[in-house]
Chains A and B, each alone.
Chain A
Amino acid sequence: GENVEQHPSTLSVQEGDSAVIKCTYSDSASNYFPWYKQELGKGPQLIIDIRSNVGEKKDQRIAVTLNKTAKHFSLHITETQPEDSAVYFCAAGPLNTGFQKLVFGTGTRLLVSP
Chain B
Amino acid sequence: DTAVSQTPKYLVTQMGNDKSIKCEQNLGHDTMYWYKQDSKKFLKIMFSYNNKELIINETVPNRFSPKSPDKAHLNLHINSLELGDSAVYFCASSQEGRGSGNTIYFGEGSWLTVV
Residues of A within 8 A of B (CB): 32, 34, 36, 38, 41-46, 49, 87, 89, 95-102, 104, 106-107, 109
Residues of B within 8 A of A (CB): 4, 30-31, 33, 40-45, 48, 50, 55-56, 90, 92, 94, 96, 101-109
| Nearest A-chain residue to B30, judged by Cβ | A98
The 9 closest A-B pairs by CB, nearest first: A43-B106, A104-B43, A99-B31, A107-B41, A44-B106, A46-B103, A98-B50, A100-B102, A43-B108
Main secondary structure of the interface of A (DSSP, over half): loop
Knowing A34-B103, A44-B106, A99-B50, the reply to whether A104 touches B44 (Cβ < 8 A) is yes
- Minimal beta-carbon separation of A103 from chain B (angstroms): 8
B96/A101 in contact, CB under 8 A: no
Knowing A44-B43, A89-B43, A106-B40, the reply to whether A98 touches B96 (Cβ < 8 A) is yes
A99/B56 in contact, CB under 8 A: yes
Q: How far is the CA of A49 from the CA of B94 in the complex (A)?
A: 14
A100/B31 in contact, CB under 8 A: yes
Q: How far is the CA of A76 from the CA of B40 in the complex (A)?
A: 23
Knowing A43-B90, A106-B41, the reply to whether A97 touches B108 (Cβ < 8 A) is no
Q: How far is the CA of A100 from the CA of B95 in the complex (A)?
A: 9
Q: How far is the CA of A95 from the CA of B109 in the complex (A)?
A: 25
What would 22 A/B residue contacts be, using CB atoms closer than 8 Å? A34-B104, A43-B106, A43-B109, A44-B90, A45-B106, A46-B103, A46-B105, A49-B101, A87-B41, A89-B43, A97-B96, A98-B96, A99-B31, A99-B33, A99-B50, A100-B33, A100-B102, A101-B45, A104-B43, A106-B40, A107-B41, A107-B42
Knowing A98-B31, A100-B94, A107-B43, the reply to whether A42 touches B108 (Cβ < 8 A) is yes
B94/A99 in contact, CB under 8 A: yes
Residue of B33, B44, B102, B106 with highest tally of chain A CB at under 10 A: B102
